[in-house]
């Protein structure tokens, strides 16, 4: 019952925010701006999204190995692509993580190692995103002239950075009861692994480069979308606005980020002195690119051995 209620709330949040963001969008104008050149730019965005997934796979494999759940490259890529499908279909922006967790655990790694690998990978990505936004704050503050917009950006980003730093510090605490008490045992173990992944001489360069590259590619994807409709937005403006929007979209309060992304993008563009509707248009096409990639992930899932085995288990299960 609680799960159904949570899903219903997320559907309502997505619907409400989409309504507020789209009520002033001129869809006829948006469609009129799409042509063969637009299709080429959007196809490039889809291709770069697959590259982004592959870069994420390389980072996840490092994290998984530290968690005791090593993954072959091909298998990890397949799991991540399948995850993109469930990110689009389950009532959360992190639904794909739950499916990846199930796939890894079912592969023999065990539920604990699988859970740790997903959680730590997410934490590392969040910390990297917060660092990027903090590093770009001098330029973001100049771009966002609205005082409330600047304050909101600083508050959200430093909250994320403080959470990430607190998580890492928690893993450095030597108190033994943190390892034994049921309420802190797993979180402390994940924090220890995160510190080992981020700060070890063996992993640190690769983790830093891969994490920054994943988020940079998100900006490049958005830039391709900008070019597809010839929106009056520069690459520097895209670079400064997209990471904060992605940070907020990570909140699991809607379906695949729909509604949250559009509302946040429109708000960010407005605060930056850009056309609000262009922000919503870019967000819609960005979501469409993700949907296409997710559809391909759905095809991979339908043809996968895991899907066939799951169906067989359901058929053979006693009534």
pLDDT of residue 144: 86
pLDDT tens for each residue of 275-296: 888 988 999 999 999 999 999 9
Residue 104 · residue 117 · CB < 8 Å:
yes
- What is the structure's pLDDT at 319? 47
pLDDT at 147: 81
Residue 307 domain flag = no
103 domain residue, yes or no: yes
Token pair belonging to 191: 């924090």
Give the mean pLDDT of 163-174: 91
Q: Is residue 308 part of a domain?
A: no
Residue 318 lies in a domain: no
Q: Has residue 28 been placed in a domain?
A: no
Residue 225 clears pLDDT 90, i.e. is over it: yes
Q: Check residues 76 and 176 and name the one with the higher pLDDT.
A: 76
Indicate whether 142 belongs to any domain.
yes
User: What pLDDT is recorded for position 306?
Assistant: 74
Per-residue pLDDT band for 299 (boundaries 50, 70, 90) equals: very high
Range of the domain at 139: 33-300
Q: Does residue 14 fall inside a structural domain?
A: no
| Cα(110)–Cα(179) distance, integer angstroms | 19
Q: CA nearest 60: which of 247, 211, 189?
A: 211
pTM for this entry: 0.88
What pLDDT sits at residue 248?
A: 86
| Tally of structural domains, the chain | 1
Q: Tell me if 17 is assigned to some domain.
A: no
- Number of CB atoms found within 10 A of residue 79's CB: 25
pLDDT over 50 (residue 201): yes
Give the pLDDT confidence score for residue 5 in this predicted structure.
64
In 10 A of CB 154, how many CB atoms? 16
């Amino acid at each position: 019952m609680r799960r159904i209620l949570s899903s219903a709330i997320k559907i309502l949040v997505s619907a409400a925010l989409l309504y507020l963001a789209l009520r002033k969008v001129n869809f006829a104008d948006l469609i009129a701006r799409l042509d063969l050149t637009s299709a080429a730019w959007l196809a490039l965005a889809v291709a770069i999204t697959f590259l982004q997934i592959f870069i994420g796979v390389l980072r996840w494999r490092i994290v998984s190995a530290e968690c005791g759940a090593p993954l072959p490259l091909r298998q990890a890529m397949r799991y991540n692509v399948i995850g993109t499908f469930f990110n689009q279909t389950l009532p959360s922006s992190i639904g794909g993580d739950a499916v990846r967790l199930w796939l890894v655990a079912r592969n023999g790694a065990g539920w604990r190692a699988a859970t740790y690998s997903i959680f730590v990978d997410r934490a590392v990505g969040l910390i990297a995103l917060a660092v990027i936004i903090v590093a770009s704050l001098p330029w973001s503050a100049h771009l966002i002239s609205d005082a409330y917009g600047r304050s909101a950006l600083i508050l959200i980003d430093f909250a994320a950075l403080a959470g990430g730093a607190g998580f890492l510090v928690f893993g450095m605490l030597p108190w033994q009861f943190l390892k034994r008490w049921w309420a802190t045992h797993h979180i402390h173990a994940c924090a220890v692994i995160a510190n080992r992944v981020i700060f070890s001489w063996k992993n640190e360069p690769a983790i830093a480069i891969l994490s920054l590259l994943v988020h940079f590619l998100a900006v490049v994807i958005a830039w391709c979308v900008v070019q597809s409709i010839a929106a009056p937005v520069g690459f520097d403006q895209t670079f400064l606005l997209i990471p904060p929007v992605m940070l907020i979209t990570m909140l699991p309060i809607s379906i695949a980020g729909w509604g949250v992304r559009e509302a946040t993008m429109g708000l960010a563009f407005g605060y930056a002195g850009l056309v609000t509707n262009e922000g919503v248009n870019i967000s819609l096409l960005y979501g469409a690119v993700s949907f296409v990639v997710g559809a391909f992930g759905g095809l991979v899932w339908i043809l996968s051995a895991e899907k066939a085995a799951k169906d067989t288990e359901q058929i053979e299960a006693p009534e």
